[in-house]
């Protein structure tokens, strides 16, 4: 088993408040990991620390055996860490495919002169196909439904060809059929070699997706293991399920 991501004794404070306390977490290459915990337990803070949106106070984060603790978010993205945001914010007046072509051209390929637009268009089309969004290629992003917005957000994250994809509640507010559709897409991305961390409130979705689940409560990991074992843990049931 190769370790892709290693979080060691991570502590994160906001002023006098400790949001994460001594968190240790290893994620294996190719793994599908679910991250659960009650509201305010530190899930978003942890993925913000990993993706570089916030800086850590103590501990270390290593990706592919390199310490990335001090790297800016865009540098971590370049190294292969991608994330989705809870509230996708595409450019509403641009078409779906243009929303992908812009980051592909400027960020992924570093093209500024409009050369190679055909190749970039083909790459964006392929991404939309993988996200089952081809039928909305030319629609303005502002006209997308919730599930279509989530798919575009996933496509945007995957455009950078990450090796680690962190999904922050990619399924919140979706109907059951749509949840299954997003799960299928995430399974395919994982099968193509992308390691995935899923932060999710919909327990059935996390259970179905994850090979392993980590439960946070009040900034600490209280359980880490196989989904059935974590769900059976009395501390998890008390803290998270209220029973």
Binding ligand ADP (rule: CB under 6 A), the pick from 7, 23, 25, 45 is: 45
152 Cβ partners below 8 Å, 6+ apart? 88, 90, 96, 99, 100, 131, 133, 141, 144
- Choose the binding region for ligand ADP from 40-48, 121-129, 155-163, 207-215 (rule: CB under 6 A): 40-48
Work out whether 90 is an interface residue with ligand ADP (CB under 6 A): no
17 vs 118, beta carbon nearer ligand ADP: 17
Binding ligand ADP (rule: CB under 6 A), the pick from 4, 5, 19, 197 is: 19
**Distance from the Cα of residue 164 to its chain's centroid:** 8
Answer yes or no: are the C-beta atoms of 203 and 210 closer than 8 Å: no
- Choose the binding region for ligand ADP from 13-21, 99-107, 145-153, 185-193 (rule: CB under 6 A): 13-21
| Helix pair 176-191, 146-159: axis angle to 10 deg | 10
Binding ligand ADP (rule: CB under 6 A), the pick from 24, 40, 126, 184 is: 40
Binding mask 105-144 for ligand ADP (x = CB under 6 A): ----------------------------------------
Instruction: Say how many C-beta atoms besides its own lie within 10 A of residue 1's C-beta.
Output: 8
- Choose the binding region for ligand ADP from 32-40, 76-84, 132-140, 188-196 (rule: CB under 6 A): 32-40
Work out whether 88 is an interface residue with ligand ADP (CB under 6 A): no
Q: Is 28 helix (H, G, I), strand (E, B) or coil?
A: strand
Work out whether 171 is an interface residue with ligand ADP (CB under 6 A): no
Q: Give the pairing type, strands 81-83 and 66-67.
A: unpaired
| Helix pair 117-130, 146-159: axis angle to 10 deg | 130
Instruction: Say how many C-beta atoms besides its own lie within 10 A of residue 234's C-beta.
Output: 9
- Choose the binding region for ligand ADP from 39-47, 58-66, 116-124, 140-148 (rule: CB under 6 A): 39-47
Interface residues with ligand ADP (CB under 6 A)?
14, 17, 19, 37, 39-45
């Amino acid at each position: 088993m190769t370790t892709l991501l290693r979080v060691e004794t991570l502590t994160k404070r906001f002023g006098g408040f400790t949001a994460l306390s001594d968190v240790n977490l290893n994620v294996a290459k190719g793994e599908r990991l679910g991250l659960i915990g009650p509201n305010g337990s530190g899930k978003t803070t942890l993925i913000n620390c990993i993706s570089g949106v916030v800086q850590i106070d103590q501990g270390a984060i290593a990706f592919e055996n390199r310490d990335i603790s001090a790297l800016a978010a865009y540098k971590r993205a370049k190294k292969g860490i991608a994330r989705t945001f809870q509230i996708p914010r595409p450019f509403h007046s641009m078409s779906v495919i243009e929303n992908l072509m812009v980051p592909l051209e400027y960020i992924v390929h570093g093209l500024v002169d409009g050369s190679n637009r055909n190749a970039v268009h083909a790459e964006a089309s392929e991404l939309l196909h993988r996200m089952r969004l081809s039928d909305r290629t030319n629609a303005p992003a502002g006209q997308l439904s919730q599930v279509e917005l989530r798919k575009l957000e996933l496509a945007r994250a995957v455009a950078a060809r990450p090796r680690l994809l962190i999904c922050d509640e990619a399924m919140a507010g979706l109907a059951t059929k749509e949840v299954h559709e997003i799960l299928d897409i995430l399974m395919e991305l994982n099968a193509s070699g992308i390691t995935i961390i899923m932060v999710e409130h919909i327990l059935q979705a996390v259970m179905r997706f994850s090979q392993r689940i980590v439960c946070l409560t009040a900034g600490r990991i209280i359980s880490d293991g196989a989904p059935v074992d974590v769900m059976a843990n009395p501390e998890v049931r008390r803290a998270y399920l209220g029973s």
